[in-house]
Amino acid sequence: MPFITFEGVEGSGKSTQLARAAVKLRETGREVFDTREPGGTAIGRKIREILMDVSHAHLDPAAEWLLLEADRRQHVVEAIRPALARGVFVLCDRYSDSTTAYQAAGRGLDAEGVEFVDAIARDGLAPDLTLLYDVMPGEGLARARSRDGGTGRFEAADAAFHERVRLAYLEIARRRPERVRVLPAAGTPDEVFRSTWAALTRAFPL
């Protein structure tokens, strides 16, 4: 069954759109497993706490990356693959493209090394569809700040970091047009959701 990932810069609307998609898919009678990274399992939630803690400003970039890969491995094995085997729609808030964008492009880690280890972490599992919410990083950060003060470790990174992340996402979309749909995300939540639903129903006629 379909494995769909939601990607984009901070505050681009991933979680908002995923929640709406889950509601509407359930309304159409589909069973949905909605989850997120990091933190999709009990072990992953402990890893998430380490990653998000703003007192961990000195967390080494490669240590950060490997924690994310540990979270992903546990998530795929314990939760995502079993859900796909049950035949439900799996909607995941961030997945491997986040690591390519944030840890390789954003933090500057070796892209080939990241790709190699990530393939182990996700056990070779690739999404069937990725929705990439594209918004200028400044706009997304402003939304995230009005939501919760924007106090996370990633939100605290400088503007150039977020610009690298955005461009890396667009490069992934350019290289994987069969998997990734770029959805402009500057409009209202309702407008963006029309694009979300159109992309989902086009890929998986309901």
Residues that bind Mg ion (CB under 5 A): 14-15
Q: Shortest approach of Mg ion to residue 199 CB, angstroms? A: 18
- The minimum distance between CB 42 and ligand ATP, in angstroms, equals 20
Nearer to Mg ion, 117 or 150 (CB): 150
Residue tagged 């400088």 (tokens): 158
Q: Concatenated DSSP letters for 110-170? A: -HHHHHHHHHHHTTT---SEEEEEE--HHHHHHHHHHHHTT-STTTTS-HHHHHHHHHHHH
Give least dist CB 50 to ligand ATP, A. Answer: 17
Nearer to ligand ATP, 87 or 154 (CB): 154
Residues 15-34 that bind ligand ATP (CB under 6 A): 15-16
128 class by beta-carbon count within 10 Å (0-12 exposed, 13-18 middle, 19+ buried): middle
Nearer to Mg ion, 15 or 78 (CB): 15
**Residue selected from 129, 144, 157, 199 as contacting ligand ATP according to rule CB under 6 A:** 144
The residue from 20, 81, 143, 176 that contacts ligand ATP (CB under 6 A) is: 143
CA–centroid distance for 3 within its chain:
12
> What is the identity of the amino acid at 143?
R
Can you tell me the distance from the alpha carbon of 37 to that of 162, in angstroms, rounded to the nearest whole number? 18
Residue 140 Cβ vs ligand ATP, minimum distance, rounded to whole Å? 7
Sequence-distant (6+) residues with CB within 8 A of 56 are 50, 153
- Contact set with ligand ATP (CB under 6 A): 8, 10-16, 143-144, 147, 187-189, 192
